[in-house]
Structure 1
Amino acid sequence: MDLDVIFVIGLIIGAFSIPAMINAFSDGRWPRGSFVALVIGGAMVGFAAWTEPATYTFAQVDDVFVSVLARFLN
């Protein structure tokens, strides 16, 4: 799997886990599943950024996301 795809999937998993975590806290539950998803997403983003550190900066996140989306839509 391409590192760009791993990076984008990690971002998506991490982004979806945050509302689930807030929901669990507001219901008074411990957010086990969303915490695991956040760790998995963070590990995927961290692995991609650690493997190629110059490729993934904050300024290039949107370019990477759009390029991966364009690859899947084409």
Structure 2
Amino acid sequence: MQPDQYLVLGLCLVALSIPAVIAAWADRRAPRAGAVLAVAGLAAVLHGNAQQPGGYRLADIPDAIYGVIGAVIR
């Protein structure tokens, strides 16, 4: 996988973890699934950032997302 793909996958996993954590918190349960998703997402983001020469800046993230979406559509 390309570093951009790791970045986008990680961002998606982190975004999915937020509702899981909130739902667990509202039900007064331990947010295990949300925590696992968040850790996996952060690991993917950090791996993508480490593989990218020079890393990512905040301005690079939208280009990476659109590039991955374009590659999937193509």
User: Could you tell me the TM-score, scaled by structure 1's length?
Assistant: 0.92
1:19 to partner: Cα distance: 1.0
* Structure 1 position 43 matched with structure 2 position 43: yes
Q: How far apart, in 2, do the equivalents of 1:5 and 1:73 lie?
A: 14
User: Could you tell me the TM-score, scaled by structure 2's length?
Assistant: 0.92
Aligned to 1:2: 2
Aligned residues between the structures: 74
Residues 25-64 of structure 1: pairs in structure 2 closer than 5 A: 25-52=25-52, 54-64=54-64
Stretches of structure 2 that go unaligned for 5 or more consecutive residues are none
- Deviation by residue 1:6-30 (Cα, 9 ceiling, x = unmatched): 1101100111101110110011000
Paired letter, 2:39: V
- SS for the counterpart of 1:40 is helix
Paired letter, 2:26: S
Stretches of structure 1 that go unaligned for 5 or more consecutive residues are none
* Structure 1 position 72 matched with structure 2 position 72: yes
Paired letter, 1:69: I
| Stretches of 4+ aligned residues off by more than 4 angstroms | none
